[in-house]
């Protein structure tokens, strides 16, 4: 309890320097006096009726993003994990594998619960809708980790993974940082708190998962856990759409005045991610080490900052040390990951990923 | 600092040694060894094992592989091979080949027929053919796949190749080593590639060799479950299987005179699905099966929905590969946007005495129209009328979602079936390149495959030797071991179907500074030579050993098959003289050529799979055991020769495939790749591409690949 209250205070101190916006409040649910005029539409603090009318949208990026998110639809059970052999991993790999799973499953569980809290304050229906899709995807992710745990990990180890977020000190600390921001806002819903939640979320989706993801790709590159890696790849694809979504929300609502505290939060997130990676990956894994984890995290942080128009804060990290792993996972539609014939379809899309069905 | 050696002893760390190894592995390759040295400082600590150093070096070299510096993957390959050599030191420095073979047989690693066929003297003589340095020409992916997936304990790649050559030659009447030499050279210079079951199982006790089967079942319980058992046996031996479901009565049909009782084809599909996951060769490879259904079958909708996420999970079969069989008439009806009728084969058989499965072309149209008429007269109960186009849209949606189903253009295939006089080809095999007559419960299509690697053929003369060697090896192999099911033996004796394939066409073109678009004439010439050599050799073997049993009355016998070739030939008279030879000697094999996907073997060979363009200049292979960078062989010399598949117009692809198809008497595993990021390649484009393929005489569409949407960037538009 005492930890949480420190964060509360921290959040409070931060907000106290800002002038409060009296219009900052939850969007009304039933709002017959609202307007659907595009000129009046606002992301936050608007006066929407909540009617989802997608031929009448202000934020065009939302429609395009919606198509991509639909196209990504998948369920974990369609991917066979029968050839994933946990017993063939080295002891160090096992330790890292379970450690990363326990972190990821916590993150996505929190996401499933928290994204609706963010959506509550959004007054553009086309964007609110995307958050609903995201919430659903986060649930699929949490389910996926559980599916991996239940399918490949021996029974006696499973509970330990679910409990670890509380038992492992370093893991607890970093979960507390992000979840604490979310909780602080729920306890005291100010506009500044909301903005901090946006950044916390952006960092969570754009930074926190990634050393973990790369570990799975690394295992796959070494011929292990290819089924789990395929699922991670699908999650990763979803996460990239979430990053895009929050990048847009942030770009629409932030100004230069916000940059300093965003940088400060990013630094803290980077430190936490690096500490965690050192703890869970360390120098015990062939193909990853402390140095490259740190380098990668900073490289990624720069990329995320640039995306929301803030200059890079780390030097000498232009090169991506895990480029070979990311290329393998083909996160950028370059078509350089090719599934073998006898594996499950490594990538699949919903049929709305292409148009033109009405032309014939 | 100390390092720990393989035998457990320690010695002082010696950087010079490491530098030496890196230098050796980089020899004659376009890489800067210093770059690799700079990567390794981090991995050394006191007491590190030498294997760990080696493994780290290998992995570091691998991670440095890029489209700009592709040769790093060869450095990694050599390092891996060096490790393998160390582990097989004794073999390599042993006292002669015969002694090694005996020790392998004694240890139960080799089947004993090798020493029953060859004396020690002959084995030692053969041992002199071994050229160990050829082990060093593999990139990492190739070396890794070969070592992990194919080699028997204590073997090096060269020994494996020599053993295969000796065993196949054991069917030869003469004892000469001439054919052994040809085959060994073909394999070890990677001009020829044995299909997986050959290269993996031939030397082992009780190894089956056949790659491809097609079975069909009748519409009764015994036949259904007999064929599930057949499939299980085929899977146990590692064969891929095609299964025709079209004879099975539809859902809602009659059972013992009661209507609405049959559950249709889906529950049977599920049985095959679960059999495939159960019989997985000790966890190494799941059973693989394509289930085929004719497009007029009343269960076609349920069949198409078998693999979507939505709907009743009990009607799902995710581990099979669906295939839709389409007659010409279906595409003609679609051309006029007409109605298509779905029937229950049981009702057609019992009420009208019509069989739509065992016919094609005009006969199909006649039967189909008769059934439609009967329906309009109210004589049939289980009929659904849909737009042909709606079914095609359904198929295209599935192509986008999962890359399946395969499409089988049944009439095109059967018009060119050399054995029309004895039956019909009802559907394709697992990779839809190999098929022949199938008769439910009596004859199962059975075929062995070897591919000619075009990337490594220095000239047409070498190509001819490769083709001839391949045909002979495949024909010998038919008699080498028993097949897993009785229906196969019947078929083997009757048709002696073999499949010589080709891969590395993209490399062949790139090495000659040309490409698919401007090299169309060269492609045509190449495959004419390919076909000519293969057919010539089959005639020669027939002269020695006799023709396939069903030869009389076949298209080879009547002259129609060669006529078809002569139509397109650069020099028709050459083909006419082939017919003269056939009239005199017959031909040994009823079907000879089939172009397989070669997903695995192309990786061992370091060439681009099949005859299609490279997927992308550098990609990561994700098949079961490893995910590693794959770089085509002439990328360094001719980067422009490797345009990625996704950038090709599908009309051009259809031209290329149909040009090759003219010469290939069986089929081609034709993968289509579409780019989801390219708005031009929409559903309508896919529709036109499928129709275009049909019009151009393409026999099948294999997998449809989709280059994924870019998740991070689709929203960057504004
Ligand atoms: Fe997630
Ligand atoms: Fe997310």
Of residues A36 and B229, which shows the higher confidence score? Answer: B229
Cβ atoms A47, A31 nearer than 8 A: yes
- Report whether pLDDT(B154) > 60: yes
Min mean pLDDT across A281-295, B287-301, B622-636 is at: B622-636
C-alpha–C-alpha distance, residues B306 and A143, integer Å: 23
Cβ atoms A55, A36 nearer than 8 A: no
C-alpha–C-alpha distance, residues B53 and B46, integer Å: 12
Q: Which residue of A has its CA nearest to B319?
A: A344
- The whole-model pTM stands at 0.77
Cβ atoms B428, B406 nearer than 8 A: yes
- Report whether pLDDT(B699) > 90: yes
Cβ atoms B615, A339 nearer than 8 A: no
pLDDT in tens, B260-272: 889 999 999 999 9
Does residue A297 sit within a domain? no
Please work out, in degrees rounded to the nearest 5, the angle formed at the alpha carbon of residue A84 by the alpha carbons of A79 and A88: 170
pLDDT in tens, B483-499: 888 899 899 999 999 99
- Compute how many other C-beta atoms are within 10 angstroms of the C-beta atom of residue A167: 10
pLDDT in tens, A241-289: 999 999 999 998 899 999 999 999 999 999 999 999 999 998 888 778 8
C-alpha–C-alpha distance, residues B336 and B350, integer Å: 31
Identify the residue among A335, A343, A348, A356 best suited for mutation to test binding to B, counting B beta carbons within 10 A and taking the highest: A335
Min mean pLDDT across A185-199, A223-237, B27-41 is at: B27-41
Does residue A30 sit within a domain? no
Does residue A164 sit within a domain? yes
* Confidence band of B283 (pLDDT split at 50, 70, 90): low
- Report whether pLDDT(A77) > 90: no
Helix axes B388-402, B683-695, angle to 10 degrees: 110
Two tokens, residue B63: 């991670």
The CATH number for A140's domain is 1.10.620.20
The 3-class SS string of B414-468 reads: HHCCCCCCCCCCCCCCCCCCCCCCCECCCECEEEEEEEEEHHHCCCHHHHHHHHH
* Confidence band of B385 (pLDDT split at 50, 70, 90): very high
> Which ipTM was obtained for this model?
0.78
- The percentage of chain B sitting over the pLDDT mark of 90, rounded to a whole number, equals 68
Sorted by sequence, the CB contacts under 8 Å of residue B157 that are 6+ apart come out as: B134, B135, B138, B146, B147, B151, B188
Does residue A351 sit within a domain? no
* Count of pairs with CB atoms under 8 A, one residue in A, one in B: 206
pLDDT in tens, B663-696: 999 999 999 999 888 889 999 999 999 999 999 9
Two tokens, residue B350: 């019992």
Of residues B717 and B534, which shows the higher confidence score? Answer: B534
pLDDT in tens, B72-98: 999 999 999 999 998 887 666 666 899
- Report whether pLDDT(A5) > 70: no
* Residue for token pair 């790139």: B510
C-alpha–C-alpha distance, residues A125 and B173, integer Å: 80
pLDDT in tens, B310-341: 667 677 888 899 999 999 999 999 999 999 99
* B residues 82-141 closer than 8 Å to A (CB): none
pLDDT score of B542 = 97
Domains in chain B: boundaries: 1-92, 95-189, 212-411, 445-649+657-667
- Report whether pLDDT(B718) > 60: no
For A80, counting Cβ atoms within 10 Å of its Cβ (0-12 exposed, 13-18 middle, 19+ buried), the class is middle
Q: For the residues of B523-551, what is the DSSP string, one character each?
A: HHHHHHHHHHHHHHHHHHHHHHH---TT-
CATH code at B212-411: 3.20.70.20
Which ligand is the nearest neighbour of the Cα of A138?
1
pLDDT score of B665 = 96
Residue A173 sits in which domain range?
59-256
Strand B628-630: give its sheet, edge to edge. Answer: A337-338, B619-621, B628-630
- Compute the mean pLDDT over every residue in chain B, rounded to the nearest whole number: 90
* Interchain proximity B398–A351, CB inside 8 Å: yes
C-alpha–C-alpha distance, residues A30 and A247, integer Å: 28
Count: domains in chain A: 1
* Interchain proximity A354–B676, CB inside 8 Å: yes
pLDDT score of A185 = 92
* A142 C-alpha to ligand 1 centroid (Å): 7
pLDDT in tens, A42-56: 888 777 877 777 666
Does residue A168 sit within a domain? yes
pLDDT score of B717 = 30
pLDDT score of B311 = 67
Does residue A267 sit within a domain? no
Answer CATH for B445-649+657-667 from 3.65.10.10, 3.20.70.20, 3.40.50.10360, 3.40.50.300: 3.20.70.20
How far from B711 is each of A201, A241, A335, B403, B678, CA to CA, in Å? 18, 6, 13, 19, 14
Please work out, in degrees rounded to the nearest 5, the angle formed at the alpha carbon of residue B445 by the alpha carbons of B441 and B450: 155
Cβ atoms B675, B643 nearer than 8 A: no
* Confidence band of A139 (pLDDT split at 50, 70, 90): very high
Alpha carbon dihedral B173, B175, B181, B183, in 10-degree steps, equals 30
C-alpha–C-alpha distance, residues B318 and A79, integer Å: 9
Q: Which residue of B has its CA nearest to A78?
A: B318
pLDDT score of A349 = 65
* Confidence band of A78 (pLDDT split at 50, 70, 90): confident
* Interchain proximity B627–A289, CB inside 8 Å: no
* Confidence band of B107 (pLDDT split at 50, 70, 90): very high
Contact list, B623 vs chain A (CB under 8 Å): 339-343
Of residues A22 and A168, which shows the higher confidence score? Answer: A168
* Interchain proximity B309–A72, CB inside 8 Å: no
């Amino acid at each position: 309890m005492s930890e949480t209250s420190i964060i509360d205070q921290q959040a409070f101190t931060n907000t106290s320097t800002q002038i409060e916006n009296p219009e900052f409040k939850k969007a009304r649910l039933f709002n017959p006096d609202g307007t659907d005029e595009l000129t009046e539409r606002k992301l936050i603090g608007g006066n929407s009726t909540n009617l989802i009318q997608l031929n009448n949208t202000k934020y065009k990026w939302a429609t395009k993003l919606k198509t991509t998110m639909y196209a990504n639809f998948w369920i974990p059970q369609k991917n066979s994990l029968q050839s994933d052999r946990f017993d063939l991993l080295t002891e160090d790999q096992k330790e890292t594998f379970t450690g990363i799973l326990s972190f990821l499953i916590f993150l996505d569980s929190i996401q499933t619960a928290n994204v609706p809290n963010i959506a509550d304050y959004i007054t553009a229906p086309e964007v609110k809708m995307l958050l609903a899709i995201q919430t659903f995807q986060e649930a699929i992710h949490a389910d996926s980790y559980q599916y991996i745990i239940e399918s490949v990990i021996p029974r006696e180890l499973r509970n330990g993974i679910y409990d670890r977020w509380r038992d492992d000190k370093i893991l607890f600390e970093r979960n507390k940082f992000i979840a604490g921001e979310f909780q602080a806002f729920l306890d005291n819903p100010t506009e500044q708190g909301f903005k901090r939640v946006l950044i916390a979320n952006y960092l969570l989706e754009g930074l926190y998962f990634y050393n973990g993801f790369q570990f799975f790709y690394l295992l796959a590159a070494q011929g292990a856990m290819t089924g789990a890696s395929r699922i991670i790849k699908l999650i990763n694809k979803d996460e990239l759409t979430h990053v895009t979504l929050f990048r847009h929300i942030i770009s629409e609502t932030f100004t230069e005045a916000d940059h300093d505290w965003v940088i400060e939060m990013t630094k803290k997130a980077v430190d936490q991610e690096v500490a965690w990676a050192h703890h869970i990956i360390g120098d015990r894994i062939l193909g990853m080490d402390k140095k490259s984890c740190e380098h990668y995290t900073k490289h990624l942080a720069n990329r995320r900052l640039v995306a929301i128009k803030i200059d890079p804060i780390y030097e000498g990290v232009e090169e991506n040390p895990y480029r070979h792993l990311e290329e393998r996972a083909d996160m950028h539609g370059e078509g350089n990951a090719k599934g073998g014939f006898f594996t499950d379809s490594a990538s699949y899309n919903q049929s709305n990923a292409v148009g033109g069905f009405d032309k014939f | 600092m100390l390092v720990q050696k393989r035998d457990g002893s320690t010695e002082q760390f010696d950087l010079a040694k490491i530098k030496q190894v890196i230098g050796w592995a980089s020899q004659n390759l376009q890489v800067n060894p210093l770059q690799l040295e700079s990567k390794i400082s981090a991995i050394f600590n006191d007491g590190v094992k030498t294997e760990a150093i080696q493994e780290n070096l290998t992995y570091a070299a691998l991670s440095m592989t890029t489209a700009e510096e592709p040769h790093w993957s060869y450095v990694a390959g050599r390092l891996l091979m060096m490790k393998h050599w160390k582990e097989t030191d004794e073999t390599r420095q042993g006292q002669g080949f015969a002694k090694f073979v005996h020790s392998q047989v004694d240890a139960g690693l080799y089947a004993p027929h090798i020493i029953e066929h060859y004396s020690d003297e002959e084995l030692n003589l053969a041992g002199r053919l071994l050229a160990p340095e050829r082990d060093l020409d593999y990139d990492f992916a190739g070396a890794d796949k070969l070592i992990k997936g194919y080699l028997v304990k204590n073997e090096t790649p060269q020994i494996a190749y020599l053993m295969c050559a000796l065993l196949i030659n054991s069917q030869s009447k003469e004892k000469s080593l001439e054919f052994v030499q040809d085959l060994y050279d073909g394999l070890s210079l990677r001009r020829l590639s044995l299909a997986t079951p050959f290269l993996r199982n031939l030397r082992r006790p009780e190894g089956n060799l056949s790659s491809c089967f097609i079975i069909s079942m009748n519409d009764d319980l015994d036949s259904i479950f007999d064929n599930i058992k057949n499939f299980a046996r085929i899977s146990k031996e590692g064969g891929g299987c095609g299964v025709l479901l079209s004879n099975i009565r539809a859902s809602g049909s009659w059972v013992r005179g009661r209507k609405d009782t049959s559950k249709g084809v889906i529950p049977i599909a599920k049985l095959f699905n679960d059999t495939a996951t159960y019989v997985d060769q000790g966890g190494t490879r799941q059973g693989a099966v394509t289930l085929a259904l004719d497009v007029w079958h009343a269960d076609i909708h349920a069949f198409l929905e078998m693999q979507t996420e939505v709907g009743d999970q009990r009607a799902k079969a995710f581990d099979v590969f669906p295939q839709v069989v389409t007659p010409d008439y279906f595409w003609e009806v679609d051309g006029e946007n007409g109605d298509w009728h779905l029937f229950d084969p049981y009702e057609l058989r019992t009420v009208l005495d019509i069989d739509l499965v065992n016919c094609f072309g005009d006969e199909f149209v006649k039967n189909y129209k008769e059934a439609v008429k009967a329906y309009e007269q109210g004589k049939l109960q289980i009929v659904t009328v849909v737009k042909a186009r709606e079914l095609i849209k359904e198929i295209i949606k599935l192509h986008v979602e999962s890359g399946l189903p395969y499409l089988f253009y049944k009439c095109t295939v059967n018009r060119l079936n050399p054995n029309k006089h004895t039956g019909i080809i009802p559907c394709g095999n697992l990779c839809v390149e190999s098929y022949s007559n199938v008769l439910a419960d009596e004859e199962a299509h059975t075929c062995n495959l070897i591919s000619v690697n075009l990337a490594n053929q220095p000239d047409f003369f070498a190509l001819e030797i490769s083709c001839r060697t391949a045909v002979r090896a495949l024909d010998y192999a038919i008699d080498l071991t028993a097949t897993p099911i009785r229906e196969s033996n019947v078929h083997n004796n009757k048709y002696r179907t073999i499949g010589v394939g080709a891969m590395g066409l993209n490399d062949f073109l790139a090495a000659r500074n040309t490409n698919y678009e401007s090299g169309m004439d060269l492609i045509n010439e190449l495959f004419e030579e390919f076909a000519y050599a293969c057919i010539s050799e089959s005639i020669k073997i027939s002269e020695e050993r006799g023709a396939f049993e069903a030869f009389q009355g076949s298209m080879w016998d009547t002259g129609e098959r060669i006529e078809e070739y002569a139509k397109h030939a650069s020099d028709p008279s050459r083909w006419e003289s082939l017919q003269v030879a056939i009239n005199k000697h017959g031909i040994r094999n009823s079907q000879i050529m089939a172009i397989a996907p070669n997903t695995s073997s192309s990786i061992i060979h370091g060439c681009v799979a099949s005859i299609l363009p490279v997927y992308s200049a550098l990609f990561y292979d994700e098949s079961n055991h490893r995910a590693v960078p794959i770089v085509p062989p002439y990328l360094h010399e001719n980067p422009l020769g490797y345009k990625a598949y996704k950038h090709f117009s599908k009309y051009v692809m259809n031209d290329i495939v149909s040009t090759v198809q003219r010469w290939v008497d069986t089929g081609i595993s034709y993968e289509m790749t579409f780019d989801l990021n390219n708005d031009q390649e929409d559903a309508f484009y896919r529709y036109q591409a499928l129709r275009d393929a049909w019009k151009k005489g393409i026999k099948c569409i294999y997998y449809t690949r989709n280059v994924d949407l870019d998740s991070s960037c689709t929203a960057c538009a504004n």
